[in-house]
Every structure is written in structure tokens, then in C-alpha cells.
Structure 1
Amino acid sequence: MSSKSALICSYYIPQTDLDSYSRRLFHLLEFLREAGWRVTVLAQIAAASAGSRLRHMGIPVYLDTFKNAELLVDRELFDLAILGFWHIAEPIVPIIRRVSPATRIIVDSGDIHLLRHARRIFRSRSQEGRAGQLDSDYAAAMIRELNTYASADAVLAVSQKEADLIADMTADATFTFAVPDCEDLAPSKISLNKRKGMVFVGNFEHPPNLEALHYFCERILPRVPESIRKEHPAVIIGNDLKPSFAQFAEKIGHVRIIGWVPSVIPYIERARVAVVPLLHGAGTKRKLLQALAIGTPAVSTSVGTEGLSLRNEENVLIADDPDSFAQGIARLASDRQLWKRLKKNGRAHLAAQQGRKAVGQHFLKTVELVLAREQKKSAFSYSGDDAQEAKAVKDYQNLVERIRQLASRELPANSQIAVVSKGDHQLLRLNKRPGWHFPQNREGVYAGYHPSNSAEAINQLQMVEKKGADWLLFPKTAFWWFEHYAEFRQHLDANYSVAIRDAETCVLYALSRAAAEFTASRLKQRPPPETEAPPPESAASEESAASKRAKKELSAKSAVVDLSAILSLIHISEP
């Protein structure tokens, strides 16, 4: 039995019934425990039931990832750390390297965010009639993601395709490993004659799933014959389904909205067909793995089958346009021989490639390889060779420090600050409470992109205000928002008071009633200023014209220039 210890760090506590990635981490945790490892979990947030389950398994669980990482690593000196998703790993890798240099670090990519976001950007912009272009914000996030992978001792990907992509982009094929998701579900015992309906499973907080749902209901279902839809109604399962969508589905007809359920298995095993109509994304799709494991034949787009080595007409039906997708549904509803063949072949393929036993053995072998190697002594870093770029880096670091000092001096220590951060965790360490990214997804993670318009920015504002944000902070680097999102700025000025307006540092709005009262009280105590600081527009005017254009619509030329400028900041340090 091994006496080694491992830290698993993630946003959510690993669990089997929340989302696909939490289920993946739970399986990795189980594999380590079965091999005799002592496992500790550190997560940002968690449902009480998830933490309770792990503690009953004898697994210590700690919360508040960024606050407690250093104390925990210093105390335990783990042999191995598995960090789920690059944005969780980014601030923790340096802590582990400094506090416990012997710890081997594995970053589990989950899916490659830079790939998923690039596909989303190209798709959304081409649909608006403009040429799809990546901008400097995308480039900055891409660099941070790749740097985080390169700083680890190993990177796990859910498919060989994504492992190869990381290896190509980091110029190192020796530290990337494909460790697929696994499923080991019992086959459905329900006969073909009793199988009814088309089942669509997804986490609808995840934009690719929401896009796929609209595509399915608006463009595919109307092409499925009425008689088939009547006999096999569509069943939609997953969290965060809006009430407005239920009203929309009612108009389509033969669509049942179920929403979140403790287990999707009973619905999949009773369905005649599983549908996976994804149009963009990355990684592999657990919804398809579960359908194959249970023995429910599926119709999927190529995006849905990516990384799974599935063959059209042999394991699954692959359809990349609405007509062929609808035809695939009709065939599985009426062709019994096709249905039985796909059921048999799909389950056999899954058991061989992604059964629990096979994946567990492969994962533990990967861990052994990582432990046998010397840990990394270097990582990507800013070179500072170019004086102008070195100055820009130093100026930004000084800005962050000024913001911290201002927040410490001017704001209550326990207030909750939302920050227009571009995903930079440095900007969240402002007082005793960790700040929040703005914009963010519903898990509180940086959204990865700017709002498409003022209406979306206002929706984001209302979401963080409802969650309990007291303040919204715009660092100087985000002053361009006030011009680009003019209606959003008007909304802020009409509904919230300005607590701080410093042209060289930040603008801060009071969101909560307590923050507004605190602001009013502080203003009464201050003597009137001799000169008023310039409004955000003036500060925004200091931003270069090229940078402004980048926020609106980059030309192909400007995109190359911005990307090259950012790439010039980094190099691989020699060991």
C-alpha cells in the first residue's frame, strides 16, 4: 500500500451529480484512494452534501482555494497536486513551487479553454455577418492558459487530440497525457418496444449547451416528422433552464422540460434516442458517454463525438446539418436493426476505450511516470528584454498595488468587491474577502470574454448585485468600458453612486445599500476637492486608438500586431 499523499484542488468539491468535470475529478480521486493514496480536497465552494460525502469517506475537505492553499501545502507537503482547470492552477502553481518544491504538479485541463473560446468567437461573429477575429483579450487569456500548462510537471487532457494540441503549442510532447473520462454504467434492461422519447442532457449554464438546445428546438425538431415527435417527444434535462424557454418549448409542441434531476440515468435508459446537437465546444461529452454505456443509441454532431474515436453508422449517427440530424432521429425511431446495432457497438466501444477499469489503470500509470521524473525548476516568465514592454508590466503591477492600497484605506475590510479583472487574480486580493471577477459565469469563475453589448453587461451587473456584491471596481485599464458600453455607463450613473473616481487608479461604484450609505457618510466627512478628477471618458482617452479599435472590432492586421506584442513578453527560461 502506498503512503503517498495527494492534493486535489478545484472550483467545486468533486462529486458525481453536479456537472461532468466534478464527476471526472471524483473518479480520479477514487482511483488514487483505491491505490492507497491519502487524498485531501481543496475547493473554492461546495454544496454541503458533497463535502459531507467525502468526509464520510475519510477525505479532508477545505474551502476557499486561494486563501488556504499556502497554509495547507506548507503543512502537508504533498507528493502530488492535481489542479483542476488552468484558471484554478494559475495562482496556485507558484505557491506550491515556493512552499513545497518536491511536490509534482499535474494540471488537469478538463477541456482546452483557448480552443473552446476561439470556436465560440469565430461562430458568434460570423453569424453576425462579420469576419470572425480573435482579439487581444483572447490572446492574453490564451497566453496565461498556455503558461500555466507549461509551468506544470504534467498536463492531462480528455482526448489524445487535445493532449497533442497542448504538446504542439508548448513544444513539449513528454509532459502531456490523454486520460479520458470514464463511465461504467449498467446497460438498460428496458426493451426496445418500451423505449420512448428523445433525450437531451446538458448543463445549461454552459453556453455551448444552451446554443445546442436552441439549435435542436428551432432547426432540428421542426424537420422531424410529426408522427415521430408525437410518439417520441423530446425530453430536456439539466440545470439552469429558464422559465422563458419552457414557454418557447410549449409552442413547438411535443417537448417536455424536466430541468435538474438528481440522476439523469433513469431518463437516458428509457429513451429511444439520445441527441447531442453541439455546434462548438472542446473536450469530450459525458452525455454521449453515458448514453453509449447505458445502451441508448445517439445522433450527434461531429463536435459532440470529438475525441471519442466513434464511427458514423457503426457506433453512432453523426449529422452536421439540421436535415441529416432529423433524418438520423427518424431512422433510430423506425429502424430496429440499426438501433440494435448501434446499441451493441456503442457500448462495446465505450467499455474498451473508456471503461472505469481501463481509465483507472492508465491514470495511475501516468501518475507513476510523473513521480519518477524530476520536477520542473522553471516556467514561462516575462523576459523584460524590451524596455517598453518591461515598463508596461511594471506600470501594471504598480496600478494593482495602488488599487490595493486605496481599497484598504477607503473601504470596509469585509465588503465584497466585484472587479473588471480580465481574469487576473491579483485584482481580487483587495481586502479580507476575496474579490469577484466581473464578468463571471454562474460558478463565479471569470467568464473568459467581455459582454457583447450593454444589455449583457447590465445583466452581469444585476447577477453579481443579487449574489451580494457591495462594490463594482473599474481599474484604469478598464476605463474603455465607459465609452464602449455607453448605455451600461448611463445605467451605472443613474442607479448607483460613485464612491471613488481616480483618473490614475480606478472608478468604484457602490452597489449595495450598505455601500451607498458608507459612501454618503465618507463624503460628508471629506472637505470639497479643489479640482475635480477627470471623468472616466478623459481617462479613457489616454488609451491608444489602436487599443480602442481592438475592443470594438479588430482588423486582421491589428489582431496580428496585438498578438505579437503580447507574445513578445514571454520566453521559456533555461533550467
Structure 2
Amino acid sequence: MNQVQKLLIIGFVWPEPNSSAAGGRMMQLISLFKKQGFSITFASPAQDSDFMVDLESFGVDKKTIELNNYSFDLFIKELNPTIVLFDRFMMEEQFGWRVAENCPDALRLLDTEDLHCLRLARQKAFKEKRPFNATDLFLEDVAKREIASILRCDLSLMISEFEMELLESVFKIDKALFYYLPFLLEPIKIAQLQELLSFEERKNFIFIGNFLHEPNWNAVQYLKETIWPLIRKQLPEAVLHVYGAYPSQKVLQLHNVKEGFLIMGRANDAQEVAKNARVVLAPLRFGAGIKGKLLEAMQCGTPSITTIIGAESMHGDLPWNGFIVDEPSVFADKAVQLYRDKTIWIKAQQNGIAIVNERYLKELFEDDFVKKVEILQADLQKHRLRNFMGAMLQHHTLKSTKYMSLWIEAKNK
């Protein structure tokens, strides 16, 4: 990638790395492309937020775009990007046909974040009090939209190996169309470990997670109603600090000083909060992707207790940064054990550091990803010829989505 290339990122929202793992992930991708000398424009139809990152300070051009508006066609023709990265399938649905029509030679990448259809199918199974089955995915309208989007793109970036297996085994998608690129982190070095607070210097349990994300809200309810009372029986003085961006009134009403269940709202610095806590609790009962909160806990040397879904695709064959438990009474017992027992706590901390250093270092992935992009760019037409399903969907989508969008545009005038 020697000549200056242009990357256009079409964002679902403006990145908020302090509010969600998705925001942190996006900044990692920006950093990766910046390192390769790309000129980067980040465009989004979303409204500005008080907590969004200052993109200009990272050398990224910021552009507000409109849905169903010809102005985007003029903008992208003038920009003429070599690569377009869609942030989640909804952005590819909205703008993919315009990109294909106006910049047919641009490489189209999709950052999935997680498989939305998997998260929603699991959520539905949970609410219907039945086990999740992979065939449930076929019943989700979102699956049809999301898989169509993956097929229309040249390459989809996946953060979860489990989800890659689903794409291949359940949806029969060619492996050439997706690529494993997890969170890209710096190594945890011995000097950093020595700066971390010790077991004795830390106190309290924490939960952290954006409340716009349904699995987080459900986990906090579960903590309040079921798990926290079991922990408090054994540790009557225990305190749980619940952090998260965008708490609703329902969340704020769970605050109870007497029960040691404190709703803290948005964390100004999530890492600082995790570094001071002794144990992270994450009893997630549905969801998808890999969990930024649990990876952040590992980076901060903070052990965690989570569920099978919480730890999914995160640790490979390595021992967990604490315990993985689904049954609530065992979850509570293990939380107390981890909180009280220094030896177990230190071992858990070491496990977490090993997971970060062996599975998430950016140096393990960056060069290989750059090569993959170069190969695709050099042979894009051949790559697309092999993806007939994607070409067929692109053809029909151009017709259906295009004319729906043009109709909305005409109606708006």
C-alpha cells in the first residue's frame, strides 16, 4: 500500500470509545489504516453527540451525510475512495448500492461488530424460556438482511470465531468472504503489571456496559434480582458499582445504597474504574460478538466472572480470567471466592494477561490483514466473479433499494 489511498468509513454512529466496545473497535481500525498512510474520511448520518471522539484530532475528515439523498452520490464521486468500510450491515443496506453505482472499483469492507441476527435470536429464545438453536437464525428477518449484506461486500471483518463457524456451517457462506480481525491491542508488559493496584488495594465489584445494548440491561436486572442478593448473604458489606453510558430511568431506579447496589452512570474513564475494582461481574444471558468489558478487565488486571455466552470466542484454549459459570448460585459462590481468595485472584489475573498477550495483540493481525486487502485490491474482479450470490443480490438490491430510496427522496422534496 505505497501510494496514498483513500478510505471512506460510513458509520452507524460517530465513534464513542468511552461509551462502547464498538467505538473502541472503530478507533483501532482507523489507527490501522492511518498507519498504512491512508487518507481517511468518516461519514455518518447520525447526529453529533457530546461524547463522540474528535476525529479531526486523529487526522480524520468528518462528514455528515443524509439518508436517501442524491447529495451522497455527489460526495462519493468527488471523494472517489479506494476502499469503503461500512460500520455494521445497516449502513451497507442504506449506502451500499450508491457506493457500487458511483465507485464500482472501490473495495467494499463490512465491519460486522457482532452478528446481530445471533444476538436477536438468542434474545428471543431467552424471553420465550427455551434453549437457542442455530436454526432459530433462519426465522430472523434481520438474518436475511445481514447475510445479504455480507454477501454483497467483498470482505466482512469478524471478531468472533464462533460466528465465523456459523456463517460457514449454518449459512454456507464461502470462507473467502469473511476474515477474522478481533480487537487489536497493545501487549501488557511487566512494567505495567507492577503499576497495577494489588489485591489488597482494590475493593468492590463492578459491572460496566452501555445501556443502549439490551444484553447489558438484562444482565443488570439479573444481578439486582438474583445474583447480588446471593453474594450479599455471604459478603454483607459488599458493594457493586454499576457503570454504563445512557442509563434509562428504569436503570437509575435500581440504585439502592442499603443493598450496596449503586448505579454510577457513565464512567469518565472505564479503565480507571476497572483498575480500582477487585472483581468484574458480567452475567450475560444472551448476546454475540466478543465482550469489550471483559477484555478491558483483563487489560486492567481485574479478574471477572461471566457466563458461557459472555466468554464465547474470547479465550480459545486458555484458562479464563476468573470463572465461567451459568448457574446463579454457583456464579455467586465463585464471585465471593474470587473476591476473598488472593491466590485464586492472582492466578485469574495472570490468566487474563496471557489471553490479551496471546490472542489480541495487534502485531499478530495487522500485517496479515494489510496483505489480504492488497491481494483483494489486485484481483477484485476475479474475487467478485467467484461470488455469484453476492453479484445476484447486488443486482436485485440495486433495483429494489435504489428505487425505494429514490421514491423516499422524491417524497421528501
Q: Return the TM-score normalized by structure 2.
A: 0.86
CA deviations 1:153-210 (Å, max 9, x no partner) are: 1111112221232234143111211100134475562121011011100111111111
SS of the residue aligned with 2:45?
Answer: strand
Whether the aligned pair in 2 keeps the contact of 1:78 and 1:103 (CA below 8 Å) is yes
SS of the residue aligned with 1:61?
Answer: strand
Who is 1:198 aligned against?
Answer: 205
Deviates further, 195-204 or 301-310: 301-310
Who is 1:53 aligned against?
Answer: 54
Who is 2:154 aligned against?
Answer: 153
Who is 1:410 aligned against?
Answer: none
Distance (Å, rounded) in 2 between the aligned partners of 1:102 and 1:222 = 58
Q: Could you tell me which of 180, 183, 204 is aligned with 1:181?
A: 183
Q: Could you tell me which of 105, 117, 128 is aligned with 1:102?
A: 105
1:287 lines up with 2:293 in the alignment = yes
Residues 148, 208 of structure 1: alpha-carbon distance in 2 compared, 3 angstrom cutoff: same
SS of the residue aligned with 1:171?
Answer: coil
> Where does structure 2 lack aligned partners over 5 or more consecutive residues?
none
Residues 332, 47 of structure 1: alpha-carbon distance in 2 compared, 3 angstrom cutoff: same
Who is 1:415 aligned against?
Answer: none
Whether the aligned pair in 2 keeps the contact of 1:225 and 1:330 (CA below 8 Å) is no
Q: Could you tell me which of 328, 336, 347 is aligned with 2:334?
A: 328
Q: Could you tell me which of 85, 89, 92 is aligned with 2:92?
A: 89
- What is the deviation of 1:354? 0.8
Distance (Å, rounded) in 1 between the aligned partners of 2:288 and 2:244 = 19
Whether the aligned pair in 1 keeps the contact of 2:206 and 2:279 (CA below 8 Å) is yes
Whether the aligned pair in 1 keeps the contact of 2:305 and 2:325 (CA below 8 Å) is yes
- What is the deviation of 1:119? 0.8
SS of the residue aligned with 2:380?
Answer: coil
Who is 2:174 aligned against?
Answer: 172
Higher relative contact order (CA 8 A, sep 6+): 2
CA RMSD for the aligned pairs?
A: 3.2
Distance (Å, rounded) in 1 between the aligned partners of 2:289 and 2:406 = 28
Q: Report the AA paired with residue 82 of structure 1.
A: L
Equivalent residues, number:
397
Whether the aligned pair in 2 keeps the contact of 1:183 and 1:356 (CA below 8 Å) is yes
1:116 lines up with 2:122 in the alignment = no
1:126 lines up with 2:129 in the alignment = yes
Who is 1:27 aligned against?
Answer: 28
SS of the residue aligned with 1:12?
Answer: coil
Q: Report the AA paired with residue 221 of structure 1.
A: W
Distance (Å, rounded) in 2 between the aligned partners of 1:87 and 1:182 = 24
Q: Return the TM-score normalized by structure 1.
A: 0.63
Whether the aligned pair in 1 keeps the contact of 2:137 and 2:143 (CA below 8 Å) is no
CA deviations 1:318-352 (Å, max 9, x no partner) are: 00010111011111111111100111121122122
1:275 lines up with 2:281 in the alignment = yes
Distance (Å, rounded) in 1 between the aligned partners of 2:391 and 2:125 = 28
Larger Rg: 1
- What is the deviation of 1:367? 2.3
Q: Report the AA paired with residue 149 of structure 2.
A: T
- What is the deviation of 1:87? 1.1
- What is the deviation of 1:34? 1.1
Distance (Å, rounded) in 2 between the aligned partners of 1:283 and 1:250 = 31
Who is 1:142 aligned against?
Answer: 143
Q: Report the AA paired with residue 174 of structure 1.
A: A
Distance (Å, rounded) in 2 between the aligned partners of 1:225 and 1:311 = 33
Residues 164, 365 of structure 1: alpha-carbon distance in 2 compared, 3 angstrom cutoff: farther
- What is the deviation of 1:238? 0.3
Distance (Å, rounded) in 2 between the aligned partners of 1:362 and 1:276 = 32
1:220 lines up with 2:221 in the alignment = no
Residues 207, 369 of structure 1: alpha-carbon distance in 2 compared, 3 angstrom cutoff: same
Q: How does 1:155-554 map to 2 (within 5 A)?
A: 155-168=156-169, 169-184=171-186, 187=193, 189-226=196-233, 228-230=235-237, 232-250=238-256, 253-309=259-315, 314-375=320-381, 376=384, 379=390, 381=392, 429=409, 431-432=411-412
Distance (Å, rounded) in 2 between the aligned partners of 1:263 and 1:34 = 26
> Where does structure 1 lack aligned partners over 5 or more consecutive residues?
385-389, 402-423, 434-575
Residues 428, 311 of structure 1: alpha-carbon distance in 2 compared, 3 angstrom cutoff: farther
- What is the deviation of 1:428? 5.4
Q: Report the AA paired with residue 344 of structure 1.
A: Q
Q: Report the AA paired with residue 335 of structure 2.
A: I
Q: Report the AA paired with residue 55 of structure 2.
A: L
- What is the deviation of 1:52? 7.2
Distance (Å, rounded) in 2 between the aligned partners of 1:344 and 1:208 = 28
